[in-house]
Structure 1
Amino acid sequence: MAALLLACQTFGPRSLRYGRGTYNTAIQQTNSEQLLLNLVRLRYRDAPLFLEVTSISSSLSLELGAAVGGNVGTVGRSVAPGTAVTYIERPTITYAPLQGSRFGTQFLSPIQLSDILLLYHAGWAIDRIFRVFVQKLGPLQNAPRASGPTPSHAPEYEAFFTATELMRSLWVDGLVDLNYLPSVAGDALTLTFTRRPDAEGRVARLCALFGLAEPRYTITLTESPRPGEGAVLLVPRSLLGGMYYVSHGVEVPAEDYAVGRVPVTRDAKGAVFDWARLTGTLMRVRHGTQEPKNAYVSVYYRGLWFWIADNDLDSKSTFSFIAQVLELQSGEIKGAAPLLTLPIAAE
């Protein structure tokens, strides 16, 4: 009885300390693997699928047993009673596939300008936000057809990248701020630049790229198809569009190109376009036949291992960035069906 009383006093706290951490780690790791798997699927034009863990419940129990032990020999005999305490956990995990209108709302709707501001104030670099989730700024194209399955013709992106590099340099120097501007005509963002001699040239060049008649230290970025004076049209991507965009950083074997498993993109001269020119500083997913040893996250798909290297900080940052937007867009699951519930029996 004393053993049972002692076990009951320590059982709950110990199970919480062990169980919460292990479940947290398992969910985080499997979420990362699922996201990487879907990026690889998009590269191969396979349909993505997300299963969300909607609930985890676990029943914990103690079983007390009695035992008698001893020894019998020529020297003497001894018999001693004993007790055995067994810890049993029976978790139940519930999954819900993302589909129907909920999939459309979360993955196909353009990202909100207010969400772009949240990401900016969360500390994400301004150029990373715009490169992944903005496909047009005024006359500047950021490979808009890369927001879907890999196009057959090389995208237009050079001038857009020049603009985002200028924005990043101003951001690094603390000379630019991004704000949200709600209005009846349509929500907008404002880029505000600090008036300093070392900013003048960059601001003037940026305004010229945006097609503005003269340099301005406050620029309105709007979704309105007819932006007014001093305003620039901003066309955001959806979450799925951003995932398609970075999925072009998934490297695939040459034989998959040869047999047509992966589409080939060519430039105006007919040469194969290298997507690393767009995604080289955003995302690189390597592949190989052997399971990687030093991977940040890895998955096995189509007979190959795909992974992000643990020392590839740019790719890890973009991957975490996409994961945060995925959480930001997820919202609350209401009436999701069908549900898949797995009771796990402990032996």
Structure 2
Amino acid sequence: MRRALSLLVAAATLLTACTAVGPRSLRYGRGTYNAAIQQTNSEQLLLNLVRLRYRDAPLFLEVTSISSSLSVELGAGLGGTIAPGGNSSVAPGTAVTYIDRPTITYAPLQGSRFGKQFLSPVELGDILLLYHAGWAIDRIFKVFVQRLGPMQNAPRASGPTPLEAPEFQAFFTATELLRSLWADGLVDLSYLPSVAGNALSLTLVSRTDSTERIARLCALFGLPGPASTITLTDAPRPGEPNAVLLVPRSLLGGMYYVSHGVEVPGEDYAIGRVPITRDKDGELFDWARLTRALMRVHYGRREPAGAYVSVYYRGLWFWIADNDLDSKSTFSFITQVLEMQSGELKGAGPVLTLPVAAQ
């Protein structure tokens, strides 16, 4: 009787466990994997920004697939006590163990796919998509545009840190004017139907309080006078009215640009680990003049508490503060562009598959 009873209890427990294991694995597994991928992607991006600051080669390792196998192991037995006077007792016992065995596949981003994703200039259509996604127009232009008409936005900062101070003041003045007009709802960016994908139409709404700003902006663009519609193109045609050259950066160029917001210790400058940029007077150039409102990455000897994202590299901790909304916005912005440029994983080359046993 006792054996039969224990078998019945074990069978009922196993049936219950098998019925619940699917929904339970989805409820707890999906959120956990989602959070882990999001966190490690952020850490990988920050790590590569720090690498670029030190002129080290970046490397992206993508999670291409996760296959999780959840199994149930059931144990059953009898237990009891033996006491004098006939007070002995026997009771069946069961134990259910859930075992998650994930298989995670990684693919290093390299070859032609790396070139297409990171080295190709960002298309004007993607700039338009980012604009309509709600990103501030000055953030888009500062990170992914290196020339606008006659104005330079530190084009050599699209690569390793240059030794000479960049030219950027006029470009920043123009983007600040654009932002003020954008904040007032007086700017619109759209495709040009005739040359879709190669040119954008920048519409400026003239109002009593915007006339002066528009005139200053058009003068910075090199236009002969104020205009309500400006053509932004990567290949302006001779004689085209109100056409302004727009030269976009690549994704890697934008990452190099914001990587100048990574702070490094003075000793790394002294021993030549990080290049020193000087102005025309020979004074040390402060890259925070470009990146202050875009990106600021702190460093320290100890792991920071409560950071938005942090990584350990070259014996130091680097992190973005959780209350630095500008840096967090730029970081999320680059993450979104990284996803937009990623394309498909077909033909990604060699992969690394790691079976992980967890009990």
* Fold shared, TM-score > 0.5 on shorter chain: yes
1:344 corresponds to which letter in structure 2? V
Tell me the CA shift for residue 84 of structure 1.
1.4
| Equivalent of residue 54 in structure 2, options 44, 49, 58 | 44
Check whether the contact 1:110–1:238 (CA below 8 A) recurs between aligned residues: yes
1:278-333 CA deviation, whole Å, 9 max, x = no partner? 00000000000000002000000000000000000000000000000000000111
Check whether the contact 1:186–1:222 (CA below 8 A) recurs between aligned residues: no
| Equivalent of residue 152 in structure 1, options 149, 159, 163 | 163
Q: What is the rounded CA distance, in whole Å, between the counterparts of 2:356 and 2:197 in structure 1?
A: 51
TM-score scaled by structure 1?
A: 0.98
Aligned to 2:291: 279
> For structure 1, which segment, 58-67 or 45-54, has the greater mean C-alpha deviation from structure 2 after superposition?
58-67
Cα pair distance change 1:186/1:315, threshold 3 Å: closer
Q: What is the rounded CA distance, in whole Å, between the counterparts of 2:290 and 2:185 in structure 1?
A: 26
Aligned to 1:316: 328
1:148-186 CA deviation, whole Å, 9 max, x = no partner? 000000000000000000000000000010012254597
Check whether the contact 2:124–2:197 (CA below 8 A) recurs between aligned residues: no
Q: What is the rounded CA distance, in whole Å, between the counterparts of 1:184 and 1:246 in structure 2?
A: 31
SS in structure 2 of the partner of residue 3 of structure 1: helix
Q: What is the rounded CA distance, in whole Å, between the counterparts of 1:74 and 1:40 in structure 2?
A: 73
Q: What is the rounded CA distance, in whole Å, between the counterparts of 1:266 and 1:182 in structure 2?
A: 45
SS in structure 1 of the partner of residue 165 of structure 2: coil
1:56 corresponds to which letter in structure 2? I
Aligned to 2:115: 104
1:140 corresponds to which letter in structure 2? M
SS in structure 2 of the partner of residue 149 of structure 1: coil
| Equivalent of residue 55 in structure 1, options 43, 61, 65 | 65
Q: What stretches of structure 2 of length at least 5 have no aligned partner?
A: 1-10
Q: What is the rounded CA distance, in whole Å, between the counterparts of 2:195 and 2:352 in structure 1?
A: 44
Larger radius of gyration between Structure 1 and Structure 2:
2
TM-score scaled by structure 2?
A: 0.95
Q: What is the rounded CA distance, in whole Å, between the counterparts of 1:62 and 1:305 in structure 2?
A: 41
Tell me the CA shift for residue 73 of structure 1.
3.1
Check whether the contact 2:304–2:319 (CA below 8 A) recurs between aligned residues: yes
Check whether the contact 1:113–1:180 (CA below 8 A) recurs between aligned residues: no
SS in structure 2 of the partner of residue 57 of structure 1: strand
Q: What is the rounded CA distance, in whole Å, between the counterparts of 1:242 and 1:183 in structure 2?
A: 29
Aligned to 1:73: 83
Tell me the CA shift for residue 7 of structure 1.
1.2
Q: What is the rounded CA distance, in whole Å, between the counterparts of 2:341 and 2:193 in structure 1?
A: 20
SS in structure 1 of the partner of residue 308 of structure 2: strand
Tell me the CA shift for residue 110 of structure 1.
0.1
Q: What is the rounded CA distance, in whole Å, between the counterparts of 2:351 and 2:51 in structure 1?
A: 23
Aligned to 2:5: none
Cα pair distance change 1:226/1:260, threshold 3 Å: farther
Aligned to 1:329: 341
Percentage of identical aligned residues? 79
2:33 is equivalent to residue 8 of structure 1:
no
Cα pair distance change 1:77/1:254, threshold 3 Å: same
Q: What is the rounded CA distance, in whole Å, between the counterparts of 1:303 and 1:330 in structure 2?
A: 31
Tell me the CA shift for residue 22 of structure 1.
0.3
Alignment: residue pair count: 347
> For structure 1, which segment, 8-17 or 280-289, has the greater mean C-alpha deviation from structure 2 after superposition?
8-17
Q: What is the rounded CA distance, in whole Å, between the counterparts of 1:335 and 1:141 in structure 2?
A: 38
Q: What is the rounded CA distance, in whole Å, between the counterparts of 2:312 and 2:152 in structure 1?
A: 34
> For structure 1, which segment, 77-86 or 274-283, has the greater mean C-alpha deviation from structure 2 after superposition?
77-86
2:274 is equivalent to residue 255 of structure 1:
no
Check whether the contact 1:178–1:189 (CA below 8 A) recurs between aligned residues: yes
1:111 corresponds to which letter in structure 2? V
1:134 corresponds to which letter in structure 2? V
1:71 corresponds to which letter in structure 2? T
1:150 corresponds to which letter in structure 2? T
Alignment of 1:80-159 (within 5 A): 80-159=91-170
1:32 corresponds to which letter in structure 2? S
SS in structure 1 of the partner of residue 177 of structure 2: helix
Q: What is the rounded CA distance, in whole Å, between the counterparts of 1:178 and 1:26 in structure 2?
A: 37
Cα pair distance change 1:176/1:271, threshold 3 Å: same
SS in structure 2 of the partner of residue 336 of structure 1: coil
Aligned to 2:247: 235
Q: What is the rounded CA distance, in whole Å, between the counterparts of 2:75 and 2:281 in structure 1?
A: 79
Aligned to 1:24: 34
1:108-136 CA deviation, whole Å, 9 max, x = no partner? 00000000000000000000000000000
Alignment of 1:297-316 (within 5 A): 297-316=309-328
Q: What is the rounded CA distance, in whole Å, between the counterparts of 1:213 and 1:82 in structure 2?
A: 89
Check whether the contact 1:286–1:307 (CA below 8 A) recurs between aligned residues: yes
Aligned to 1:202: 213
Tell me the CA shift for residue 225 of structure 1.
5.1
1:201 corresponds to which letter in structure 2? E
